[in-house]
Amino acid sequence: MTQLNLEQGCLPGTSGSTPIFRAEGLALHFDDGRTRALDGIDIEVDEGEFVAIVGASGCGKSTLLNLIGALDTPTTGERYFRDRPYSAMKDLADFRRQHIGFVFQSFHLIPTLGVLDNVLVPTIGAQGPAAGYRERALELLERLGLADRLRHFPATLSGGERQRAAIARALINAPDLLLADEPTGSLDSANAAQVLDLLSEVRRERGLTIIMVTHDAGVSSRADRLVPLRDGKLDQSAEVAR
C-alpha cells in the first residue's frame, strides 16, 4: 500500500526505486497567468506501474498527460524521466520516439493510410532497418488480432479495431511509458473492456509503465493507483493506491 508523502506534497510511486517519471512544481498557465490549467503538480510514477489520472472534465488531466509526453512545455516546474530532466534533453522528438507511446481517445490514425502503414508511421525517418520495423509491426498486429486488417483503412474498421491499431502504433518503437488519453472514451463497453484487457496484457508481457487519463470509474479501477486532479491541482486527499 502506497502512503502519501504529505511532507513534500508529492504523490510517490509504489516501489521506492528510481521512478520512471517524476514532476516537481509543474504548472501551465495561459493568458499571462490568468488561466491556470495546471498548478503545482508534484508526482512520481514507478517503473511498471499503471496509474490512472482521474477527475472531472476540464480539470487538466489531458494537459498533464501532454506535459508528461513532452507535447507541451510547462510554465514552471521540471519533469524527469528516470531522473533525467526534460530541460536537459537535446531533442524531445527523439525522447518521444524512443521512450513514449501515445494512445488517444479519437485514435488519431491517419485516415489515408492502411493499418500496417499507420503502425509504421512513427518509424519513418528513424534509424534502423525498415524490414525490422515491418516485421515488428506484423508481429504486433498479429498479437492484437489485426493480422487480417493490414490493408484496411481506419474508416473501414470498428472503433475497437481502430484503437487496437493505435495501440500497435504506440508500441512499435518499444516504449518504456505508454500514455493513454481516454483510450476507451470512444468505444462501447465490450470494446472498452477488450482494449483494457489488452493494455493489461501488454503491460504484463513487456513490463510497460502506463499512465492513463480517464473520467470513467470502471476504467480507472484497472489501475494500480489513482491520481485525482481537481481544478488543475492534485487532490491528494482523494489519491488511492491499490
Q: Please report, as ranges, the residues that interact with other proteins according to CB under 8 A.
A: 66, 69, 71-72, 91, 93-94, 96-98, 100, 102, 104, 108, 110, 112-113, 117, 120-126, 130, 169, 173
Q: What separation, in Å, do the N-terminal and C-terminal C-alpha atoms of the chain show?
A: 6
In angstroms, rounded to a whole number, what is the distance separating the alpha carbons of residues 192 and 183? 8
| Closer of 100 and 241 to other proteins (Cβ) | 100
SS3 167: helix
Residue closer to other proteins by CB (options 10, 109) is 109
Name the grid cell of 10: 508529492
- Comparing CB distances to other proteins, the nearer of 1 and 124 is 124
CB of 2 to other proteins, least distance (A): 29
Amino acid at 225: R
Q: How far is the CB of 124 from other proteins (least distance, A)?
A: 5
Q: Is 103 left (phi over 0), alpha (psi -120 to 50) or beta?
A: beta
CA nearest 209: which of 40, 44, 56, 8? 44
Least distance to other proteins, CB of residue 232, Å: 16
Q: Residue 134 corresponds to which cell in the numbers above?
A: 515491418
What is the rounded distance in angstroms from the CA atom of residue 194 to the CA atom of residue 183? 11
| Of residues 206 and 239, the one with the C-beta less far from other proteins | 206
Nearest approach, Cβ of residue 112 and other proteins (Å):
5
Q: Name the residue nearer to other proteins (CB basis): 4 or 89.
A: 89
Residue with cell 534533453: 89
Least CB distance from residue 73 to other proteins, whole Å? 9
Minimum gap (Å) between residue 125 Cβ and other proteins: 4
Residues 6+ apart with CB under 8 A from 80: 19, 21, 22, 23, 24, 86
Which of 34/90 has CB closer to other proteins? 90
Residues sharing a CB contact under 8 Å with residue 168, sequence separation 6 or more, in sequence order: 115, 119, 137, 140, 141, 144, 146
